[in-house]
Chains A and B, each alone.
Chain A
Amino acid sequence: MLQRFLDPQVLASISSLDLVAKTVVDGFVAGLHRSPTFGFSQEFAEYRQYVEGDDLRHVDWNVFARTERIYLKRFRGETNSQLLILLDTSASMGYTSGNITKLDYGRFMAASLAYLSSGQRDATGLIIFDEDVINYVPPSTRQGQLSRNLHAIEKAEAGKRTDFSKPFMHFQQYLRRRGIVIVISDFYDDPKTICKTVEPLRFHGNEVVLFHLLDPQEIAPKFKDPVLLVDVEDNVAMEVTPEYAKTEYKQKMDQHIQGLRDEAARAGLEYVFMDTSKPLDVGLRNYLAIRQRRM
């Protein structure tokens, strides 16, 4: 049952993105435990008698006035975690060999993460980019943040070509608190360049996760006949034989994936490879694992 709700083919038939996210997350996360730490937030947790050394700012003076006893008012602890989702909407993300494009898969992924983190009281932000920043939703825990994120994700459409360097230079200014940065992209670029571009995000104490989305046809193309392939980003056409696609292309793609994985590890980035024909739980599970590790 769980698998069914995470199947991208099933999710593609759901028109509402928040419903998609709710379906995914509710199906995946059953009984997520609350934060074990108490902090300073708006949700009341308990009263505790004052002991020496406690911060007087947390004394509930109303209780003191009524009872002449000093009690501290305790609230649900902030996780102090911030999630920033970077969704690549370059033209290549619009490719699909089946029913669901990489961009759709990425949108489902981003929506589900936003929903999930929202449930965790994490401040969730969103950056939509291709060769430039298309949309930015600052991380926040305010009411309606989930809707803003989902709305931004909803509007995301495949745009121009990918250029990591340009938008990532700007990302620095958006990251003021340490948190988790998730980059969802197909990463059609040199792994070193990618990691070199993304690596600065870590310097603020962020955990950076690269979600590498690829269509099955991109991973292992299967053509019956020679085909004329047209690059969706620059419209360059090239005639490709099935033999080449089966052998050399596959080899190059594997090298690219491995190179990206290695470069990410070297740069301290988390790398998650995702096949768009596979369920979404891989991504969610990775996010939760990282978050758990940070607590």
Chain B
Amino acid sequence: MGFLAPWFLGGLALLGLPVYIHLLRQYKQTPLPFSSLMFFERRTQSSIKHRRLKYLLLFTLRCLFVFLLVLAFSRPFLKSSAIAGATSGKREIIALDNSFSMRQGDHFAQAKKDALDAVQSLGAGDRGQVITFGGAARLITEMTGDKQALRAAIAGIEPGDDASSYSELSRVLRSTAETQKSDITAEVFTDLQKSSWPASFADARLDAGTKLNIHSYADKAIPNFTVESVDAPRRVFDTKKVRTLATIAGFNTPDATRTVTLIANGKTLESKQVKVPANGRATAEFLTLDAPYGVTKCEVRIDSADAFPDDDRWLFAVERSDPKPALLVHSNGDNASPLYVRTALDAATEAAFTVESQTPEQAAGGTLSKYAFVILSDPGPLPQRLEEEIDKYVQNGGSVLIALGKNAVPGAKLPAAGIQLLQIHTLTLDHERPLTIGQMDNSYSSFGGGQNWDGVDFYQTAKLAFPQDANTRIAARLSDGSPLLVDRKNGEGHIVVFASALDNVANNLPLQPVWLPFIEQTTHEMGGIGAARTNYRVGSYVDLRTATEQNVPVEIIGPDNQRALTLSESAKAATYQFPTQGFYDIRRANGREEMAAVNPDRRESDFTLVTQDTVNLWKNTGVGSFTGTSATSAGNTEEHSEIWWWVLALLAILAVAETVVGDRHLEPVGQQAGRQVEQ
């Protein structure tokens, strides 16, 4: 017997309490009136003894109560010999690699067959556990001696599309050895891909006492071509301006020419021949993608003519739509900013937006809800109606970019942002050097792709005062520390404040190369184009809802056209892990429908084997015997059977007994006195 929380045994000091109450505390006896004491003599020598004996039962019950209470808290367990006897056999982990690469040939079928043979070879008293490590390691069964359960578990395992990881396998083996507190044997059925091997050898370390038996189904690295990746736009606005770039990789392959085919909705659009160098990569570029309006399921396929055709295609989804209108509000005399912004958007890879230029007075006459985003390019004072419209637009989820220049009025509050313009600082050329960008948050969407802002000078900048709270994000600062780009969340939308103008007077940004990606990425983010991904890897997660979308049902239709989420998951799940390759139709809480293309990890296409030396080193890390603190030798393993609930049950019985016995001593004094006289 042992204790999981032995420090609670210190509570046994409480046993002094009943001892004090029954033996040490001054004894109070109820006086019994008697007619005359003339025939009595004072005899007290045996009195104490009898007092102690009087409440002996109650005293014993109370001591037992305290003892059992302390015992229950210290969580006793039994090292049952019966249990030990029943588990005296060996512990065997049957680890099956069901990663994507195991689909090659009959590797997986052979692995399952060998795993079943391993179960069959388990002796009486042996126990086994089935796990898979194609992706995150999963415990399929518990450690059990039930061969039927083990066989059923193995029969139910299907090959997956995820990538295996030997570090994951080692982690589970270490964890199992620690749990079982004994030596274990791991029968590993895998294809020993080098790509599954961890970057650090230490991650694959095994605990001493873990014997590794590796059953490999690849004796040499087989040549394999694969579509490694496809770079395609998520949205298509002009089918003539779509560029799809497919990367074809060869692993352990000679020079070869492969045919690459672009397929949309099952229809072959274009084929190209690419020459793939030996053990190298080649790209195939498709400049048109004749996709119909709506979501199109596309794939790039090669005629690999190799032994592993499962990785010869890459799925991706594109959505075709018309360019969305965007509004640029500028002052009457400003012709520069519309020119620069329109030019930048026209030059973008995806002609996603058409810009309408209006003066504040013109804009005040219309509604903003039809625009993907709004740019206020130093328009000066705005009509009240336009300000209200902008506020409403932002509250409902719209995004507004405000650029501040010479027309801005110091002291005025910017519409819908809660940001106040303090002053317009204009550079005096004779005395000051122009400001440059001082600090840039590369994680902000406007600055993605490693933009180079060197050479961008700012001659006229606005000084701002804004609330310092969680809704405000400073994306860039000038060299004097003042904010250049401030993103403030308001309602469901965003206000992006650029503390300079979008012309070549306040700065030279429109004349610099970084102008195009800055405008493109900023407007794409504001217009909701660059927000979501469409291509995922098997095993990766997709976010299903925002914090404000709790308890709103989300629906995912899997590649098999079945709902992938249960009813409760649909209402509560925050993320979803893609288990297999294919197209997933995601209907989000906000009503937006997306198509996610999920492809297997292409590391699985590289059949290069782990070297035998590495495997031997791996096995050697498990040499020895388990040396856990509570371990015994193999075949004499002890298992802990916690008995605290039995102690609690006994405690409850004792409590009742104590109540009954104690009740006899807690009756009214008169009654008690009367009871002292034996009737």
Give A residues with C-beta under 8 Å from B: 92-93, 95, 97, 102, 186, 188, 215, 217-218, 221-233, 236-245, 248-249, 252-253, 256
Contacts and interface: CB of A to CB of B under 8 A. Distances in A.
Contacts of B44: 239
Nearest to B47: A226
B219 interface: no
Contacts of A92: 35-36
26 contacts: A95-B33, A188-B36, A218-B35, A221-B677, A223-B676, A225-B50, A226-B29, A227-B29, A228-B30, A228-B31, A229-B31, A229-B32, A229-B40, A232-B33, A232-B34, A232-B36, A233-B36, A238-B37, A239-B42, A240-B40, A241-B50, A242-B678, A244-B40, A244-B41, A249-B39, A256-B39
A188 B34 CA distance: 12
B489 to A, nearest CB: 82
Given A222-B677, A223-B676, A226-B50, A241 B43 contact: yes
Contacts of B676: 223-225, 227
A227 B39 contact: no
A87 to B, nearest CB: 16
B47 A241 contact: yes
Interface in B644-679: 676-679
A252 B47 CA distance: 21
Contact of A228 (B29, B46, B678): B29
B470 interface: no
Given A95-B34, A228-B30, A244-B43, 4 more contacts: A95-B33, A221-B677, A229-B40, A238-B41
Contacts of B679: 222
A243 B46 contact: yes
Contacts of A243: 46
B35 A215 contact: yes
Contact of B34 (A229, A244, A248): A229
Contacts of B36: 92, 186, 188, 218, 231-233
Contact of A188 (B32, B38, B54): B38
B54 A238 contact: no
Nearest to A214: B35
B43 A240 contact: yes
Given A223-B676, A256-B39, A241 B46 contact: yes
A238 B46 contact: no
A248 B39 CA distance: 8
A239 B46 CA distance: 10
B679 to A, nearest CB: 8
Contact of A223 (B37, B38, B678): B678
B31 A230 contact: yes
Contacts of B46: 226, 241, 243
Nearest to A230: B31
A9 to B, nearest CB: 14
B51 interface: yes
The 6 closest A-B pairs by CB, nearest first: A95-B35, A92-B35, A222-B678, A252-B39, A229-B34, A188-B36
Contact of A186 (B31, B35, B40, B677): B35
Interface of B: 29-44, 46-47, 50-51, 54, 676-679
Given A224-B678, A241-B43, A241-B47, A229 B37 contact: yes
A248 B43 CA distance: 11
Contacts of A238: 37, 40-42
Nearest to A236: B37
A222 B677 CA distance: 6
A253 B678 contact: no
Nearest to A250: B39
Contacts of A252: 39
B36 to A, nearest CB: 4
Contact of B40 (A217, A225, A242, A249): A249
B34 A230 contact: yes
A225 B35 contact: no
B34 A231 contact: yes
A238 B35 CA distance: 12
Nearest to A244: B43
A225 B47 CA distance: 9
A19 to B, nearest CB: 28
Contacts of A237: 31
Contacts of A225: 50-51, 54, 676
A245 B676 CA distance: 13
A7 B489 CA distance: 101
A231 B31 CA distance: 10
B149 to A, nearest CB: 64
Nearest to A232: B33
Contacts of A233: 35-36
A236 B42 CA distance: 11
Nearest to A215: B35
Contacts of A253: 39
Contacts of A240: 40, 43
A102 B33 CA distance: 14
Given A239-B47, A240-B43, A188 B35 contact: yes
Q: Which of B33, B35, B50 has the most CB of A within 10 A?
A: B35
A237 to B, nearest CB: 6
Nearest to B36: A188
A256 B40 CA distance: 13
A215 B36 CA distance: 11
Nearest to A234: B37
Contacts of A249: 39-40
Contact of B51 (A186, A226, A231): A226
A10 to B, nearest CB: 19
A236 B36 CA distance: 9
A218 B678 CA distance: 13
Nearest to A188: B36
A240 B46 CA distance: 10
Given A92-B35, A95-B34, A229-B32, A248 B41 contact: yes
Nearest to B51: A226
Nearest to B674: A97
Contacts of B30: 228
A188 B39 CA distance: 10
Contacts of A231: 34-37
A137 to B, nearest CB: 26
Contacts of B38: 188
A188 B44 CA distance: 24
A253 B51 CA distance: 27
A153 B47 CA distance: 42
Contacts of A223: 676-678
A232 B36 CA distance: 7
A186 B347 CA distance: 130
Given A230-B31, A238-B42, A243-B46, A97 B37 contact: no
Nearest to B29: A228
A127 B50 CA distance: 46
